[in-house]
Chain A
């Protein structure tokens, strides 16, 4: 992958900024039929829990405009099954591995992080805070800054030092920056923004909710503006905390939008269901978009927060061509010099 695309999440260096979103890459083997997983900056697992879980009965999904509504119930093999059957294969692939974990108590999260301590090849842990907290009448950890922070803190304390802990947050909150700040205070090394948006569909044929879970999580391009807004707000509040932007990315320009909002990396989710070869295409389109703007990825992170007219330092190809119109536009040449070191 080109150097232009290098990025980092805390102390984790990634050869490229494009990941798969948790829950959208299967065990890895399914996607590997369509492209080399090493094209991803990292592979993110489906959330792993302490016990095997069958999930919810069907119907689990309903098509929505430019989106997909799902209520899966976190199906999975449990940590033992994951370590036995899925991890060994993933560890053989030439791609860093981010293990997403989920639990119903802070202690269950911590226990999972402890189990992963001894496992080689875990590049980072993603904490899925969109899980019902059984100690709070089943309300999601992600909905309360304190609950989200308690989980992140428990995982940070239990995880191997040096392995980044990322908190994946839900957008259905009054103020996502409050939750983000609480997670950062609790030791999160980065944030994944956003999880699905809660929604609902009713089947006009059965006259009942379309999903057995009644409500479900909306994903896909339909939620992209919500996700970009969350990334932008959180980056403004916590400019130094790395963000993985997720939500409806289907093209390289969609990915660029998240980077400009403040994401250091991006993940493609529901689009992989629709278009299994989307990841290498999006990566190529993102590289072309950066190249056309004469930027490295790192220079573009959070650029949308800069005032109009700001030109990042690394962009200075033909200085005369770029400087001339800018100098003309700025009355004080000293100020122009300051902006263009």
Chain B
């Protein structure tokens, strides 16, 4: 089956600094050929005899056919595992599992798409943009960050997007402001029919709210939540769960890795992240006095 993930020792082609982030290109043909936009890869860090057992999960920026198939990721160096990755050099080996998770669902018709990104996670939108454009969908970018150095891919967005709007908190690139402030205007100007987003969880929450207010469906990648909570990336460890309500109205704790990372924005209970909502399936019950609970 070509849609099952693989585990492979990938050769590093390049590691380069991009603004405040790092971009690493890996030769991994089996992953490149299976990849669909929105999926992620899980990297082992620290080398063969590493004591760091948690796999680091990253969305994929781009796959190319060079060297049989390469996979490029963009990440922030925030902890010893990512520092190890940032320190890799050409020809080093890294153990990769992928592609993992559910991809972005694509529109059947050539509808206008607004792609909203923030931080290094925004990189995952570019592979999606390629696919959407091939389907004849107009693609509009809205990228944001605290400062210019934390906005990934603005030049690429200008090049491939039908429009690109950049906002920064300090005004060092594009407009001064935040994504939620300009998003209603961008929706009006572009006439977007669908919203896709990837970036910090707080951003996804605002994007979902605004998309829903405008009656637009939203597909969001909870990659950042997965990076913070996940350990395996393949759906076995159950550490990356978040509350999502299903079509039947029942809230379940679903895995960001195997049931996501792409979720319908309006299904995620953003305000309840990091909790078990009392009405979730299997939530702890408060026992009545008769059952032995507090009187």
Contact = CB atoms under 8 A, between A and B. Distances in A.
Interface of A: 24-26, 30-31, 33-34, 51-61, 63, 65-68, 70, 72, 75-76, 78, 134, 212, 220-222, 270-277
Contacts of A60: 229, 238-239, 241
B78 to A, nearest CB: 11
Interface in B157-180: none
Contacts of A72: 238-239
Judged by DSSP, the binding face of B is loop
A66 B53 contact: yes
A63 B292 CA distance: 36
Contacts of A68: 53-54, 231
B246 interface: no
A193 B98 CA distance: 33
B190 interface: no
A58 B7 CA distance: 27
Contacts of B4: 33
A271 B7 CA distance: 14
11 contacts: A26-B236, A33-B4, A54-B284, A55-B282, A59-B274, A67-B51, A68-B231, A75-B282, A272-B232, A273-B55, A273-B232
A59 B229 contact: yes
B98 to A, nearest CB: 11
Contacts of A30: 234-236, 258
A70 B239 contact: yes
Interface residues of B, number: 37
Interface string B101-112: 000000000000
B217 interface: no
Nearest to A35: B7
Contacts of A26: 234-236, 238
A101 to B, nearest CB: 16
A75 B231 contact: no
B51 A276 contact: no
Judged by DSSP, the binding face of A is loop
Contacts of A272: 232, 236
Contacts of A277: 7
Given A24-B236, A25-B236, A51 B282 contact: yes
A75 B10 CA distance: 34
A24 B235 CA distance: 10
Contacts of A24: 236-237
Nearest to A31: B236
Given A72-B238, A75-B238, A273-B232, A57 B55 contact: no
Contacts of A56: 276
Contacts of A57: 274-276
Contacts of B292: 134
B51 A221 contact: yes
Contact of B241 (A33, A58, A67): A58
A126 to B, nearest CB: 17
Nearest to B51: A66
B69 interface: no
Most chain A CB inside 10 Å of its own CB: which residue of B54, B229, B258: B54
B44 A274 contact: yes
Interface in B83-131: 95, 97
Nearest to A46: B238
A237 B253 CA distance: 43
Interface in B234-250: 234-242
A65 B281 contact: no
Interface string B242-267: 10000000001100001000000000
B52 interface: yes
